[in-house]
Amino acid sequence: MNNALGLDVGTSRLVLAAKDGDAFTYSRQLNAFVTIPYAKMTERALRNEGVPYSLDNGQILVHGNEAARFADLLQMETRRPMDRGVLNPSEPESGARLKEMLKSLLAGRTPGQRIFFTVPAAPLGEDQGVTYHAATTGQLLEELGFHATPINEGLAVVYGEMENTNYSGIGVSLGGGLVNVCLAYLSMPVFSFSTAKAGDYIDSSTAAVTGDLATRVRLAKEEDFHLSGVYSNKLHQVLAVYYDDVIKTLVNGLREAFTNTRNLPKLSRPIPLVLSGGTAMPRGFRDRFEKALMEVEFPVRLSEIRMAAAPLTTTAKGALIAAMADMEDAQTSAARA
């Protein structure tokens, strides 16, 4: 077993990547929890079923994948430790919640392992906002016994998908809380940014129009929505409107970032752009994005616009690749010393 791990710390899900022989393996937990009143009987039932939970102030907190099932059963919304890509600094409990979930995701892993974890880029035009999140998450992982290093989420897409261009290209991760973008040249990040219109924005905006619960909208969206241009029901029609809004915001962000960045490397050949993340999943997304990008003057020549091989695990895989490379570097310098 390789001694390195990759972790995608997402607003919506936590994904852990490891390498088992030649194969990449992944485990996932929903980054959410529900609280239920404490009763000894309930606690015993949860323990017997192997459901991850913790106790807090006379309540039981059920976290991870099981949280969605409980929320649906009890007709309540799940709660989240993170919002728009980062831990909420005004909710001191959010760190403790995230730690519980990381603990169950990392159960069985040998402490001392090197782990690279994804952090979002600052929103376009700002350079603040992710420091608290990155430091806190790193500290939680260290407390659990791992050697933690942050890696930019968009850069992780490049590492996960662009070996064949020697890690040159544009990585895009369309998640729940944020869309993250990174331009890398020969594995080095040139610039990165995020925009706050992503999956959660689509859910809550659509819910506000149709009068549904956001969790219900999300289920419908994930189940059978695609961007075909023809919509058979009102919900799909509204979803498409907000999808277009997300795409437009991303395209404007890309154009602005590429137009305003002064240190753009002189690219000798066209570079790829790869789309990953849950929000890029519906059929027709790639085509819709390409069409929108072609409508603006984009200052860089692209060799292709393609979907990541496995959009839900791309960033965790990229983080793992970074961790393995870092381990090799450490071994090389130890051998030299």
Ligand X SMILES: Nc1ncnc2c1ncn2[C@@H]1O[C@H](COP(=O)(O)OP(=O)(O)OP(=O)(O)O)[C@@H](O)[C@H]1O
168 vs 279 by CB, closer to ligand X: 279
CB of 30: closest distance to ligand X in angstroms? 9
Which sign does the torsion angle of CA 258, 262, 263, 264 carry? positive
CB of 172: closest distance to ligand X in angstroms? 11
Q: Which amino acid is at 203?
A: D
52 vs 60 by CB, closer to ligand X: 52
61 vs 312 by CB, closer to ligand X: 312
Number of residues that bind Mg ion (CB under 5 A): 3
CB of 173: closest distance to ligand X in angstroms? 6
Residue 281, binding choice from ligand X, Mg ion, none, Cβ under 5 to 8 Å by partner class: ligand X
Interaction between residue 77 and ligand X (CB under 6 A): no
CA distance from start to end of the chain: 26
The answer to whether the beta carbons of residues 334 and 322 sit under 8 Å apart is no
Interaction between residue 175 and Mg ion (CB under 5 A): yes
Q: Which amino acid is at 241?
A: V
Residue 161, binding choice from ligand X, Mg ion, none, Cβ under 5 to 8 Å by partner class: none
Interaction between residue 10 and Mg ion (CB under 5 A): yes
Interaction between residue 11 and ligand X (CB under 6 A): yes
Binding piece for Mg ion, criterion CB under 5 A, among 156-164, 167-175, 193-201, 220-228: 167-175
Residue 199, binding choice from ligand X, Mg ion, none, Cβ under 5 to 8 Å by partner class: ligand X
Cross-strand pairs, 17: 6, 26
Site string for ligand X, 175-214 (x = CB under 6 A): xxxx-------------------xxx--------------
Between β-strands 179-185 and 188-195, what pairing exists: parallel, antiparallel or unpaired? Answer: antiparallel
∠ CA 283-155-171, rounded to 5°: 30
**CA-based nearest residue to 320, from 76, 99, 4, 64:** 4
Instruction: Find the residue with minimal CB distance to Mg ion.
Output: 175
CB of 44: closest distance to Mg ion in angstroms? 36
Interaction between residue 221 and ligand X (CB under 6 A): yes
Q: How many C-beta neighbours within 10 Å does residue 210 have?
A: 17
Binding to ligand X, residues 273-332 (CB under 6 A): 277-279, 281-282, 312
**Tokens representing residue 57 in the block:** 């102030």
- Could you say which of 10, 52, 95, 138 contacts ligand X (CB under 6 A)? 10
CB of 37: closest distance to ligand X in angstroms? 29
Binding piece for Mg ion, criterion CB under 5 A, among 9-17, 34-42, 72-80, 236-244: 9-17
Q: Which residues bind ligand X (CB under 6 A)?
A: 8, 10-13, 85, 173, 175-178, 198-200, 218, 221-222, 277-279, 281-282, 312
Q: Which residues bind Mg ion (CB under 5 A)?
A: 10, 173, 175
